[in-house]
Amino acid sequence: MLNRNGVPSLEQILSRFPKSASLTRPKAILECYEDIPCNPCETSCPFDAINIGSNINTQPKLDVEACTGCGICVTSCPGLAIIVAQIKGQEAIFKIPYEFIPYPNKDEIWHGLNRKGDVICDAKIEHVSLNKKQDHTMLVTVSVPVIHLHEFVTIRSKHE
């Protein structure tokens, strides 16, 4: 339960996922489930795809059509609460924020974790990006089996 252990329910997670038909293109999943005064996702989006409005305590809403899955919101969110998801055949491709070292590198295989921190699958690192605008938040593109579309959220190195 989110209030007790920081883990959202499946219902909460699904409420932020656009229908699977829309996920042929990458789309942002805004996992901001609480009213807090914050709006950099809205102001960072170059496509005006995120709406919060004048009361910045409002939870953000995604304009699915306008979203291109660029991932700028992923590295702008101070709560690291946004990921980008896409379905590509048998795989789900995600763009996630990552702020630990050692950094992942392209083609490596890492552990794929769910929101409780359990290892659920292998995650293949497809791409990494770390530019000045991201301000030390790396954007990692990973692919996992599509069956984990609603479970996967982050990665952990296989070397401890």
What does the binding site for another protein look like in residue numbers (CB under 8 A)?
2-8, 31-40, 43-44, 55-57, 76-81, 99-101, 103, 113-118, 135-137, 153-154, 156
Spatial distance between the Cα atoms of 151 and 112, rounded to a whole number of angstroms: 9
Give the nearest distance from C-beta 117 to another protein in angstroms. 3
Nearer to another protein, 68 or 114 (CB): 114
Give the nearest distance from C-beta 140 to another protein in angstroms. 13
Nearer to another protein, 25 or 108 (CB): 108
The first and second tokens of residue 126, run together, are: 């497809």
Give the nearest distance from C-beta 70 to another protein in angstroms. 16
Burial letters 37-60, b for 16+ CB under 10 A, else e:
ebbbbbebbeeebbebeeeeebeb
Amino acid (1-letter code) at residue 28: A
Nearer to another protein, 76 or 141 (CB): 76
Question: Pick from 123, 35, 34, 39: which is nearest to 73 by CA?
Answer: 39
Give the nearest distance from C-beta 25 to another protein in angstroms. 25
Nearer to another protein, 143 or 154 (CB): 154
Give the nearest distance from C-beta 40 to another protein in angstroms. 4
Spatial distance between the Cα atoms of 64 and 25, rounded to a whole number of angstroms: 10
**Could you tell me where the beta strands, DSSP code E, fall in 43-137?**
50-51, 61-62, 82-88, 91-98, 109-114, 119-129
Nearer to another protein, 25 or 128 (CB): 128
